[in-house]
Chain A
Amino acid sequence: MDKPVLRVENLSVSREGQLVVDGVNFELLSESDTALVGPNGAGKSSLVAAVLGLLPRQKGQVWVLGHPLGPAGELPHSVRSQIAYLPQTFALQGRFPLSVAEFVAFGFDPPGPRLPWGGRSKRHEAVLVALARTGSSNLGAKLLSELSGGELKRVLLAFCVVRPRKLLLLDEAQAGLDAPASEQFQELLLQLRRQEGWTVLQVSHDLEMVRRSCDQVLCLNRYLRCSGPPTQALSPKSLAELYGPNVVAYQHHHHV
């Protein structure tokens, strides 16, 4: 059997002295799409941040592609360059003199010191392909700060897809998008995930989307309340336990 792409064992995380994630265990198998759901303040973003090494762990261990995450989030460059991340917000204040193509090119470069003009033609080629695959070819010359919310999300996906990666973590990446833009983003994500063979962990509040496109759900409210396939983890009983008795599970039907 394949090693899990991500393995989390007994993970606890504190924020400002408060335990926000408590003793969480789970594994992500290769090319699986897992949703992390739970009410506001349940510790979802903290869990993702700890998995990425952005927040210190109080206890527990995280393995990415079989490599243990160091105490300050250290991973070998070869492993780190296989991880992609889309944050909830990506606010740019004022005019930021960086074109979309330049930004995506930084996604092509591996971590660590290097001369920025090395391997230019290969990088340029990869950027053009990434922009085309995310429907952003027309945005290359635009400034990053000139993009709309939906365009920015597509460009962030281009940053992820510009080099091969294994693991993609999304922290409510659709936040701030209207319903059609959110739908388009999800479709693009699904398409790229299949093409790239990404293993995905996404924080989401859109339970209908989770039901449709994810194959595993982790229900978090400080500790893991339930996990399993959507039909099981998103049952009315599980949802009532997770969100409280007043939350009603509903399904809306999409016309194709």
Chain B
Amino acid sequence: MFDSAGVLSQPFMQRALLGGLLTGGLGGLLGSFAVLRQLSFFSDALGHSALLGVSIGILLGINPTLVLIPFAVLFALLINQLVERSKLPADALLNIVYSTSLAFAVVALSLVETYRGGIQQLLFGDILGIGWLDLGVIALLLLGAVLYLVLSMRAQVLLTLNSDFAGAFGVRANWHRIAFIVLLAVVVAVSIKAVGVLLISAFVVIPACAGRLLSRRFPVYVLSSALLGGGCALLGLLASGLTNLPSGPCVVIVQFSGFMLALLLRLIF
């Protein structure tokens, strides 16, 4: 039998639960806009490119966490420019970018003997290894994201609906588009440690899709996406802690169950 009280009393588990709640909530919050703007695949490509950032950090002997955020931001801006200037379909371009960066990352990591053991954590996340500093960064990021999105709600919604329409009614469309992409890149980079590169896009996409199925009002949609993201992460981590199964996949399975439930409710009512 599992000693659930014992597991929950461990500081690393408490940090993990808090980290999951914040990361999940952040993913759901940004995901609610990312999904409507058809940026789901973008977050996936960012996640995969983050692996390249980590491997560059390891190769250069720099702490990968320090490399990850600037790398993800730079990468996001570069992808944005590529999509705008090449006039190629965004999904095809993102596919090229993410598979190439994954290939480079794997080659780079194969050159580093000592890091082979950590690949599993990079791919699927290690939320139990989350520290107080990580928690502080995630909490600050969540606060910043909430402030930015609430204060610019009109701009975000109009931009999501129609970029020219938004611009005509005074929204600085380009500025907000880039600001959102940068924010998404930072969130992806910060969440990699907890969630892993392979599953990060699920944190952005699944709660938002479930929220979209359940909501008829925009604030309800945004709030439900964030709550579903946080709630599913919490439940998934509890399951992971109690069963000793990997944390990232446990959270995604709970998120998927939540999505199926939302779909069922939508079909019934």
Q: How far is the CA of A83 from the CA of B165 in the complex (A)?
A: 11
Asked if B212 contacts A97 (CB within 8 A), the reply is yes
Q: How far is the CA of A102 from the CA of B165 in the complex (A)?
A: 16
A179, CB-defined interface residue at 8 Å: no
Q: In chain A, residues 78-118, which have Cβ atoms closer than 8 Å to a Cβ of chain B?
A: 80-81, 83-85, 87, 90, 92-93, 95-99, 102-103, 106-107, 109-116
Query: CB-defined interface of B57-72 with A at 8 Å, one 1/0 digit per residue?
Result: 0000000000000000
Q: Which residues of B contact A169 (CB under 8 A)?
A: 168
Q: Which residues of A contact B221 (CB under 8 A)?
A: 97
B216, CB-defined interface residue at 8 Å: yes
Q: Can you list 19 residue pairs at the A/B interface with Cβ under 8 Å? A: A49-B164, A53-B167, A54-B167, A54-B168, A80-B169, A85-B169, A90-B162, A96-B36, A97-B211, A97-B216, A98-B161, A106-B158, A110-B170, A111-B154, A111-B171, A115-B151, A116-B219, A141-B216, A144-B161
B218, CB-defined interface residue at 8 Å: yes
Q: Which of B38, B164, B220 contacts A54 (CB 8 A)?
A: B164
Q: Which of B150, B168, B219 contacts A83 (CB 8 A)?
A: B168
Asked if B164 contacts A87 (CB within 8 A), the reply is yes
A165: nearest chain-B partner, CB-CB: B169
Q: How far is the CA of A112 from the CA of B155 in the complex (A)?
A: 8
Q: How far is the CA of A252 from the CA of B163 in the complex (A)?
A: 37
Asked if B38 contacts A93 (CB within 8 A), the reply is yes
Q: Which of B158, B168, B217, B221 has the most chain A CB atoms inside 10 A of its CB? A: B168
Q: Which residues of A contact B263 (CB under 8 A)?
A: none
Q: Which 10 A-B pairs have the closest CB atoms?
A: A111-B170, A85-B168, A80-B170, A97-B221, A113-B151, A97-B215, A116-B153, A52-B168, A98-B218, A54-B167
Q: Which residues of B contact A255 (CB under 8 A)?
A: none
Name the prevailing secondary structure of the B interface residues.
Answer: helix
Q: Which of A95, A96, A98 has the most chain B CB atoms inside 10 A of its CB? A: A98
Interface residues of A (CB under 8 A from B): 49, 52-54, 73, 75, 77, 80-81, 83-85, 87, 90, 92-93, 95-99, 102-103, 106-107, 109-116, 141, 143-144, 169
Q: Which residues of A contact B139 (CB under 8 A)?
A: none
Q: Which residues of A contact B211 (CB under 8 A)?
A: 97
Name the prevailing secondary structure of the A interface residues.
Answer: loop
CB distance from B38 to the nearest CB of A (A): 7
Q: How far is the CA of A49 from the CA of B163 in the complex (A)?
A: 12
Asked if B150 contacts A115 (CB within 8 A), the reply is yes
B224: nearest chain-A partner, CB-CB: A97
CB distance from B156 to the nearest CB of A (A): 10
Asked if A116 contacts B162 (CB within 8 A), the reply is no
Q: How far is the CA of A99 from the CA of B218 in the complex (A)?
A: 7
User: Given contacts A87-B164, A90-B161, A106-B154, is CB(A81)–CB(B170) below 8 Å?
Assistant: yes
Q: Which residues of B contact A103 (CB under 8 A)?
A: 157, 161
Q: Which residues of B contact A85 (CB under 8 A)?
A: 164-165, 168-169
Q: Which residues of A contact B161 (CB under 8 A)?
A: 90, 92, 96, 98, 103, 144
B152, CB-defined interface residue at 8 Å: yes
Asked if A116 contacts B170 (CB within 8 A), the reply is no
Q: In chain B, residues 164-188, which have Cβ atoms closer than 8 Å to a Cβ of chain A?
A: 164-165, 167-171
Query: CB-defined interface of B204-240 with A at 8 Å, one 1/0 digit per residue?
Result: 0000000111011111110000000000000000000
Q: Which residues of A contact B165 (CB under 8 A)?
A: 85, 87, 90
Q: Which residues of B contact A87 (CB under 8 A)?
A: 162, 164-165, 168
Q: How far is the CA of A114 from the CA of B217 in the complex (A)?
A: 19
B211: nearest chain-A partner, CB-CB: A97
